Amino acid sequence: MFIQQFVQQSDLNRGAMHSSQLNPSASRLHRRGLSLAVIGLSLLAWAGSAQASTTPQTTRVTHNPYVVYGNDDRLDVYEETDAARRDLAQSVVALVPGNTLKPAGMGFRLQAGTLQQEAGVCSSEKFADQIIPAFCSGVLVAPNVIATAGHCVQDANFCSSTKFVFGFNIDSKGKDPALVDADQVVSCKKVIHSEVNGMGSDFALVEIDRQVTNRPSLPMSQRQHQVGEGVFVIGHPVGLPAKIAGGAEVRRQTGDYFIANLDTFGGNSGSAVFDAKTNAIAGLLVRGERDFTSRGGCQVSFRCRIDGCRGEDVSNADKIMTKLREFQNSRP
């Protein structure tokens, strides 16, 4: 283990810094374009920072990761008993460096190490044996538009170096999530809109290279969710195959974002957070607590009481919906 300090580039005006602890094996993740914050080995988390994202050509460490509140509610897709939530997972995307996709038959194989190999978690840690190729998450909000966190798209080479992978999940027991069909992979055409406003809004809309017709684009809520309302999240914590995590509620609404006790980690940045009653997208996960803490020479999930710690920040969907409509109305 070694310690290294990084400056949070998206918040230099506040002089924000944090230190991160990295298992030597995690350097392979770092070279694939994931930051130390994304793999979640922070020793010290500062509540005012936002989550990191990079692409393969450059390495940029910013933003903080996330945490488990109370029980770990993360489930593989096949473990979710609510069929509607399982269906929603098919419209979630993993953002991966393009060079992790290797030709395999009529599709591709995602080439990546496991959570234990790359992030040095203990063997008892949930999902320790699953691969972690993703650096951020996203969701299909129009047939040709994906929504994600703004800080996930900031790299100058984002469009040329990133692929969006649908169906990177375990939706049937025994499925190999590394194998993906060619039609599950789409590319970036252009970033339509991106904003990262410190402790405010953090979201992006990306136009992709073709219309997606084999899975639905998901509706976004046009209202701001209030304290006590139930929410759940679907995304790629620490880059894992998609997980569904419920049992959460809104703690505070700020206007630009709300805070909830969601079980999320680095890699969940850009994950769709849903209204537990309507299944509409309430917002996108963007910031939160630290991921892991060291125990006995390996890493374990950092845990908080269900009502403890700072909570996880979610950019409100109403503002994202406004920008999407502006783009759609500008089309001939």
State residue 43 phi and psi, 5-degree precision.
-85, -30
Percent of the chain's residues with pLDDT above 70: 78
Whose CA is closest to 266, among 152, 122, 187, 141? 152
Q: Centre a 10 Å sphere on the Cβ of residue 131 and count the other Cβ atoms it contains.
A: 22
Helices (H), 110-209: 115-119, 158-161
SS3 call for 148: strand
Q: Strand pairing partners for 248?
A: 231
Lowest-pLDDT range, 39-53, 155-169, 201-215?
A: 39-53
pTM for the model: 0.81
Whose CA is closest to 39, among 53, 57, 56? 53
The answer to whether the CB of 64 falls within 8 A of the CB of 18 is yes
Predicted confidence band at 10 (pLDDT cuts at 50, 70, 90)? very low
Rounded-to-integer distance, Cα 101 and Cα 170, Å: 18
Rounded-to-integer distance, Cα 329 and Cα 36, Å: 39
Burial grade of 196 (CB within 10 A; 0-12, 13-18, 19 or more)? buried
**Mind listing the pLDDT tens digit for each residue in 143-152?**
999 999 999 9
